[in-house]
Structure 1
């Protein structure tokens, strides 16, 4: 069943080398095909599974070559490629699994993020080597919401309305795929694949579910053993195989199967359930997460979720779907998945009648002084750095997080600003009604998207700064994700096809699915808070947050009280406004140094995203200046457009210069009758006018009243010498998943 022909190996090698050349800077001719090479490589083995072992061997050789020649920029892309092949393939020998595992262990000596990704791969390979098919089975069960007592985890990815590609992904079809893949992965050439799939298609739902639960039980019970036995796993699946096909057909399969069967049937890896929703409600993210935790068939929410105020959201509410390309930002939600609580661990019997989710959980009272668990927090001291996937901390007693909400958003920097707002609001809600956190692992993904009329080089540079940053620090993200925008535009402009008989081979869906499955390394971004004071003293100060940029402009001049400008003042002196700026200067020593200046300026721009590689977070290039105890390395780049007056023999002259500095905290106040206008994250809908003063600082983690009282109690019982030390609040960091995180 394995290909040994030189022409097949050569074709696969050329495809792999094309993918690697795409990661370099010396291949401008490949720019038009970026992202297609990896997709076409996976399609080759998907259409002909016999090529999978040959591709694994080629990828292993390239990995060993990259490690020996210190070509680190290709290591993580190659690791993701080989893991994706191993997840979908059958017929991989134990020797290939062990070689891949040994290589991943060797990479643990490298720095982050290489060792982080390699460790994640090694953990998966250790189980897959002993119990082939585990990765495929767990992925399908979680993504398709096939309830299983031994593997109750539920997840879903969210994006485009692509029903045409998912019409055949019924629960019955997914269960057939799981059973076929598990048996072929374990039995190899001894499995009569065509007869197996024919038998499964002819089986009624009740019988199919029995075999599905039997296979899941065999795989999960062996995978959870401290020392899983490949021979023991093979013995269990042989029993199921013989029970399914009968002893005679099974014996023929062990003798070599059907000689006329040149190519085994391909087993697809079903894409996740995906839906597309326009972001029309400020609280839509929170509402969708609540609906995600509620099973479809339940008319009532669980005991803890019932207490939530959904602001008129009916229990059976379904959001309207829109199938047009929107010029507005979009956010998607997970489809409702499994039960709130994992069922008690027990072995499912072959006689299990149907796939059902167990509804209802026990109501529990949360501790009064409960602290937020670490699942919502980034690893300490990280900002724009690679962290472990999930970041799960200690959970509440008796609560297991079995839901993964994968929220994938399309849009530009304006949409990310709205996402930061929603993320901040969500975290504040959790300090008041603590119910989503213990059940939910929230994973955020981002695909840059501009409206067709804005897809110019200037607009991409102006509104795609975060995407450009992600592409610089993660080349696999640049090659795989940043190239989707033109393809999505092209697809949106195509007329709809009503030919349902046409074979669907979607490039965009496959790339999105690959991203949400393999993008497990988050990069954490600091959210900044801004407090705004207005000229109208009766108006309360406003508070908001931003993620990428805050722009300040001087509004049209307000004349002085006498109604006219002094004739002695030049035209240039009338430009801008006199501003008082107080900030903490960023120093390499991390010491606090406060600077106060007064100058005339026409505007300011505060950027939180590094403009080039030399400003990527790091202790040498991008220091923090907020407080001596700070351990992260982030700050704002402030650009001030200053009006400078100079005198010479020809008289007075005025010039416009741009001064830049770095800080983490800044306060700016207008010293004249001229007011300021603030724009957050390049979004015209988030504009504040008639501003006289504003303050910017890193947004801290929201804290509940119980947390504050507990902190006050701890402070009162500290020793006197420590009471004078002001604790540094933990910053609120928003993670966006990539393939590798930041590669320094």
Structure 2
């Protein structure tokens, strides 16, 4: 195929991807165009520069014509190609970097994604092959002192919500792909990619490939560490990093080929032999887990930090690892708490402190609490927040943002472990994940042993079970996935379309022969999502206090998407009964007392108390549409606000729908009808006034059903706080101290982040 035909074919594929974003309802194979585009480059790496030029032209066109909906998908596609490519001219790298810096003038989330791409492009332009090498080392958990960062993808599937055939198909596909990528093959890919990216045409790719295949394990490790050292040292040099980098890689190249290096440079041979073989980007190491309970998440994250392949950086990190993980113990409230003192035992006078040199020579204490403290001006301070808060912008309800900077454990050392937790299922699975997330945060507020060393990233792929008794319930169980698809069109095109493909994979007969090369679409889509999905959307977790007896302590639970309440009906009215029969309205529903905080844009507190007769009530934390407006009328004292888009609400709010029984009187007698009233609130209390009992369903999950309820209260779930004692400030009077303690005692709401490609696009 000639160059013009190849370029035309790639241009058509890119246009198909963009058309899919403009009219997703008209596309029958959503998500396949992006996959096929990447596969074309994987089969023929020489097409990479041509595809990069096409993507840059489309990005410049989208920026000039203000077609913002395609900017983020094009940026992600561009970065994915540049991470794998080896023959891209330096001019295209600089052009890509310049374009990303120009996009920083756009509003969020476009500028946020463009900034991430610009940072990566700057590193790749300085030292070619940096992104590929770091990605493989982290995802495959390869040992490296110069780049110690490790990643692990944990795939959770609940067998109660996802069929056994789907679980088996996913497990077989993951195993088939990972059996073909051993640590030795990954090291070969890193060495070959680094040499080709740096030396370009001067590298005889075929000879390098054959030599690496014939190398022993010890020689292969030697080449691997030499290449990693060359790349990381070049990235760390402020000036002349590329020149020193090329010298080091040329030395490794000649050491690898030996006397054949000079011959290889002059070798013209068969063009097919000289053609560079494609270097794949291995899929990340994925572990498959069946969901058993909320404590399983904590246990699996603890196992990530206890992996024998994890490298200990120093004595300080070794001592820190002993805190909470050095001894095998089961999570629970019976665990002993670490010492929470934040003040040193010395006088704090400068002349009483030992010299810095003497303190540096002093042996480090292996005790966890001493390893977790550092001297600063006579006061020893912890290097992480005492309230157990994890990384991530505090963010408000459904607000997006980049994760916060990692808390430094030691000077110059940040978190080296990343756990990417990917869950499959429907809204019920997300409700169970929210409970596990809250349980994890409670454990961390007591021991705080995972959060300082582990960055937790949450991902979600909706899979609606085809075995549901009612097909009409499937859209109801996928409300959060629908919201994510509206908020992020690239998520809708890439992730939300995987459900039919996963069910088709489960229907196919399993292939037990894993010797042949697999080309898995599902695994490639999952890999693309966990690599490029870096922008979180924060969802508020709500706490529910449930009273079965007002004289006893309530039961507490949480929900993420929905709370549904129904009144126990002793005997429903007969079909065809007279609507104006005396007492019919009184026998339907129950008298409810509602007390709620009205959601106002001004943030001014306004409490509303009303009584009405209703048959049911639904609280939804997810809006039904991005442009959902508040009702313009009010019925029976229900408040209303000016119309405002749900995405513009910058505070937590619940959408409340009440099925009210409306009574009316006329000449023929009394009659009643049903009316649905809606309003927004940040917290609400509901109590039955006429001894009618209520039934609650949380997150549409039958596991979390509560019957015989007389009262329930809903408010944002607070962030779990540690048991750090409050320090007294003698220079404050008692009133000021009490006011300060009250301010500190107000925890912020707990929000669970779910990663997407761009966050919420307005």
Question: Hey, what does 1:349 align to over in structure 2?
Answer: none
Secondary structure of 1:18's partner?
helix
Displacement after TM superposition at 1:374 (Å): 8.3
1:205 alignment partner, one of 217, 233, 248 = 217
Cα shift readout 1:187-221 (whole Å, capped 9, x = no counterpart): 11111111101000000000000000000000011
Q: Report the Cα distance in structure 1 between the residues aligned to 2:328 and 2:727, rounded to whole angstroms.
A: 25
Q: Is the 8 A contact 1:374 1:394 kept in 2?
A: no
Question: Hey, what does 1:310 align to over in structure 2?
Answer: 330
Question: Hey, what does 2:415 align to over in structure 1?
Answer: 401
Displacement after TM superposition at 1:397 (Å): 4.1
Cα shift readout 1:524-569 (whole Å, capped 9, x = no counterpart): 111111111113845x31111111001111124399xxxxxxx985
Q: Does 1:674 align with 2:672?
A: no
After superposing on structure 2, the runs of 4+ consecutive aligned residues of structure 1 that deviate more than 6 Å are: 254-257, 367-370, 616-619, 711-718
Q: Report the Cα distance in structure 2 between the residues aligned to 1:254 and 1:473, rounded to whole angstroms.
A: 56
Displacement after TM superposition at 1:163 (Å): 0.8
Q: Are residues 422 and 459 of structure 1, via their aligned partners in 2, closer, same or farther at CA, if it must alter by over 3 Å?
A: same
Q: Does 1:614 align with 2:627?
A: yes
Q: Is the 8 A contact 1:615 1:621 kept in 2?
A: yes
2:753 alignment partner, one of 730, 735, 739 = 735
Question: Hey, what does 1:24 align to over in structure 2?
Answer: 22
Q: Is the 8 A contact 1:622 1:634 kept in 2?
A: no
Displacement after TM superposition at 1:223 (Å): 1.1
Cα shift readout 1:339-372 (whole Å, capped 9, x = no counterpart): xxxxxxxxxxxxxxxxxxxxx9874445698734
Summarize the alignment of residues 167-246 of structure 1 with structure 2, pairs less than 5 Å apart.
Answer: 167-227=179-239, 229-246=241-258
Displacement after TM superposition at 1:281 (Å): 2.2
Q: Report the Cα distance in structure 1 between the residues aligned to 2:730 and 2:72, rounded to whole angstroms.
A: 47
Summarize the alignment of residues 608-687 of structure 1 with structure 2, pairs less than 5 Å apart.
Answer: 608-615=621-628, 621-622=645-646, 632-687=650-705
Q: Report the Cα distance in structure 1 between the residues aligned to 2:299 and 2:390, rounded to whole angstroms.
A: 18
Q: Is the 8 A contact 1:48 1:263 kept in 2?
A: no
Secondary structure of 1:460's partner?
helix
Q: Are residues 554 and 136 of structure 1, via their aligned partners in 2, closer, same or farther at CA, if it must alter by over 3 Å?
A: same
Q: Does 1:588 align with 2:606?
A: no
Q: Is the 8 A contact 1:189 1:254 kept in 2?
A: no
Q: Does 1:99 align with 2:95?
A: yes
Q: Report the Cα distance in structure 2 between the residues aligned to 1:289 and 1:117, rounded to whole angstroms.
A: 28
Question: Hey, what does 2:583 align to over in structure 1?
Answer: 570
Q: Is the 8 A contact 2:189 2:280 kept in 1?
A: yes
Q: Is the 8 A contact 2:564 2:697 kept in 1?
A: yes
Displacement after TM superposition at 1:386 (Å): 2.2
Summarize the alignment of residues 462-611 of structure 1 with structure 2, pairs less than 5 Å apart.
Answer: 462-535=476-549, 537=551, 540-557=553-570, 569-611=582-624
Secondary structure of 1:634's partner?
coil
Summarize the alignment of residues 706-717 of structure 1 with structure 2, pairs less than 5 Å apart.
Answer: 706=724, 709-710=726-727
Secondary structure of 1:647's partner?
strand
Q: Is the 8 A contact 1:189 1:256 kept in 2?
A: no
Q: Does 1:83 align with 2:79?
A: yes
Q: Report the Cα distance in structure 2 between the residues aligned to 1:484 and 1:742, rounded to whole angstroms.
A: 20
Displacement after TM superposition at 1:226 (Å): 2.9
Cα shift readout 1:58-104 (whole Å, capped 9, x = no counterpart): 00000000000000000000000000000011111100000000000
Q: Is the 8 A contact 2:581 2:670 kept in 1?
A: no
Q: Report the Cα distance in structure 2 between the residues aligned to 1:46 and 1:571, rounded to whole angstroms.
A: 71
1:291 alignment partner, one of 303, 308, 322 = 303
Q: Is the 8 A contact 2:388 2:441 kept in 1?
A: no
Displacement after TM superposition at 1:51 (Å): 0.3
Q: Are residues 6 and 670 of structure 1, via their aligned partners in 2, closer, same or farther at CA, if it must alter by over 3 Å?
A: same
Q: Are residues 654 and 446 of structure 1, via their aligned partners in 2, closer, same or farther at CA, if it must alter by over 3 Å?
A: same
Displacement after TM superposition at 1:266 (Å): 0.7
Q: Is the 8 A contact 1:374 1:392 kept in 2?
A: no
Displacement after TM superposition at 1:257 (Å): 7.4
Displacement after TM superposition at 1:591 (Å): 1.2
Q: Are residues 661 and 132 of structure 1, via their aligned partners in 2, closer, same or farther at CA, if it must alter by over 3 Å?
A: same
CA-atom RMSD in angstroms? 3.0
Q: Does 1:252 align with 2:264?
A: yes
Q: Report the Cα distance in structure 1 between the residues aligned to 2:758 and 2:26, rounded to whole angstroms.
A: 25
2:9 alignment partner, one of 1, 8, 11 = 11
Question: Hey, what does 1:157 align to over in structure 2?
Answer: 153
Q: Is the 8 A contact 1:175 1:209 kept in 2?
A: yes
Q: Are residues 128 and 457 of structure 1, via their aligned partners in 2, closer, same or farther at CA, if it must alter by over 3 Å?
A: farther
Q: Is the 8 A contact 2:143 2:309 kept in 1?
A: no
1:37 alignment partner, one of 33, 40, 56 = 33
1:111 alignment partner, one of 102, 107, 110 = 107
Secondary structure of 1:491's partner?
helix
Displacement after TM superposition at 1:608 (Å): 0.3
Displacement after TM superposition at 1:690 (Å): 1.1
Question: Hey, what does 1:701 align to over in structure 2?
Answer: 719
Unpaired runs of 5+ in structure 1? 313-359, 560-566, 626-631
Question: Hey, what does 1:336 align to over in structure 2?
Answer: none
Displacement after TM superposition at 1:440 (Å): 0.3
Q: Are residues 362 and 419 of structure 1, via their aligned partners in 2, closer, same or farther at CA, if it must alter by over 3 Å?
A: same
- TM-score (ref. length: structure 1): 0.85
Summarize the alignment of residues 434-453 of structure 1 with structure 2, pairs less than 5 Å apart.
Answer: 434-453=448-467
Displacement after TM superposition at 1:616 (Å): 9.7
Q: Report the Cα distance in structure 1 between the residues aligned to 2:78 and 2:20, rounded to whole angstroms.
A: 17
